[in-house]
Amino acid sequence: MINYKHLIAFVTVVRKKSFTVAAKELFMTQPAISWQIKNLENEIDLQLIERKERGTKLTEAGKQFYVYAEKIIKAHEQLIEEMKQLKCMEKGKLIVGASTVPGEYILPAYMSSFKDAYPSTDVVVSTHSSESIIDNLISEDIHIGVVGMKIIDSRIESKPFKKDKVIMIVKNGHPLLKLKTVSIKDVLPYPIIVREKGSGSRRTLEDKMESKGLRLKNFAYFTELSGNRSAITGVKNSNSVAFVSSLVAGDSIDLGYIRAIEIEDFDLSRNIYLIHNKLKTLSPLSETFINFMLKQKD
């Protein structure tokens, strides 16, 4: 079987036009390099090089073989160089899948810093639901995920990255604002706006409600909307309540468009997680990205 040693010996002999010089170039003895060429010729059952007193001469078969052998050698050299560059972080592409809150409110602030540190890297951030990100990691359509819930899956490695809190918001003048303290039972008579299935903030809310023996059906009724901004708009125009990330609602609260209400004994603090497929070896770029992001954590 033809191997890389055969090819490098052949190409070097042709380039140097001498077995002796090629042997020195490859730190081999002349008999050893002659043996490599002989094995190669035996493998393809054709003579490639004619041995002359004053050097070497390619046969017609040798001339054709050399064209392809040189391409393979150059491709190999380029491959090694590309891998060295990737390991040294000189270049590379990373696809990050993020759920809505991390993708729109957390990652953008860090992407410019990462690009400053590694200018030749190409990082693409795409936004999906947390559940979709898991599927994309397993199918290797993305390299890293950033989600707002703990992933319970033996194939997924999760690392806490940043703190967040899901808060309840209401419009100005909402009846609940008149109460000194608010319990979750006080909230149940009102309609609730929730995120779509698969979102991290909805999972956080449902898990907490389940721990209290409650379900979404215990509210007057619930409306399912896609995206946190839709929930904020819905709250501003009705007596509905909504549970959204504090990172999303912060600006609207500061501007006085909506109000946040603390619910007694109903803490919805959560972590934002960096996740990856632990059945697949992380590339140097993926490892560097994870380590960079973990240094930014609160």
Q: What is the mean pLDDT of residues 28-41?
A: 92
The rounded distance, in Å, linking the Cα atoms of 206 and 219 is 12
Q: Token digits for 128?
A: 């999906």
Q: Residue 92: which pLDDT band, with cuts at 50, 70 and 90?
A: confident
Residue 297 has pLDDT above 70, yes or no: no
Q: Are strands 92-98 and 258-261 parallel, antiparallel or unpaired?
A: unpaired
* 153 and 209 belong to one structural domain: no
Domain harbouring 31, CATH code:
1.10.10.10
The per-residue pLDDT for range 56-65, each reduced to its tens digit, is 889 999 999 9
Domain harbouring 171, CATH code:
3.40.190.290
* 265 and 119 belong to one structural domain: no
Q: Residue 89: which pLDDT band, with cuts at 50, 70 and 90?
A: low
* 180 and 257 belong to one structural domain: yes
CA separation (Å) from 202 to 53, 161, 188?
Answer: 82, 19, 16
pLDDT at position 121 is 86
The rounded distance, in Å, linking the Cα atoms of 120 and 113 is 13
Residue 82: count of CB within 10 angstroms of its CB? 13
* 136 and 283 belong to one structural domain: yes
* 248 and 203 belong to one structural domain: yes
The rounded distance, in Å, linking the Cα atoms of 96 and 121 is 13
Residue 47 has pLDDT above 70, yes or no: yes
The per-residue pLDDT for range 247-292, each reduced to its tens digit, is 999 999 999 999 999 999 999 999 999 999 998 888 888 889 999 9
Task: Say what percent of the chain tops pLDDT 90.
Answer: 54
pLDDT at position 85 is 64
Three-state secondary-structure class, residue 46: coil
* 226 and 150 belong to one structural domain: no
Residue 206 has pLDDT above 70, yes or no: yes
Domain harbouring 146, CATH code:
3.40.190.10
The per-residue pLDDT for range 210-238, each reduced to its tens digit, is 999 999 999 988 888 887 788 899 999 89
* 209 and 75 belong to one structural domain: no
Range of the domain at 144: 92-161+271-294
* 130 and 97 belong to one structural domain: yes
Domain end marker among 38, 65, 87: 87
pLDDT at position 225 is 84
Domain end marker among 87, 110, 127: 87
State how many domains the chain has: 3
* 65 and 207 belong to one structural domain: no
* 203 and 235 belong to one structural domain: yes
Q: What is the mean pLDDT of residues 176-199?
A: 92
The per-residue pLDDT for range 149-174, each reduced to its tens digit, is 888 899 999 999 999 999 999 999 99
Domain end marker among 57, 87, 117: 87
* 133 and 49 belong to one structural domain: no
- Provide the Cα torsion 8, 14, 18, 23; round to 10°: -10
* 192 and 258 belong to one structural domain: yes
- Say if CB 187 and CB 263 are below 8 A apart: yes
Q: Residue 35: which pLDDT band, with cuts at 50, 70 and 90?
A: very high
Average pLDDT, the chain: 89
Q: What is the CA radius of gyration of the chain?
A: 31
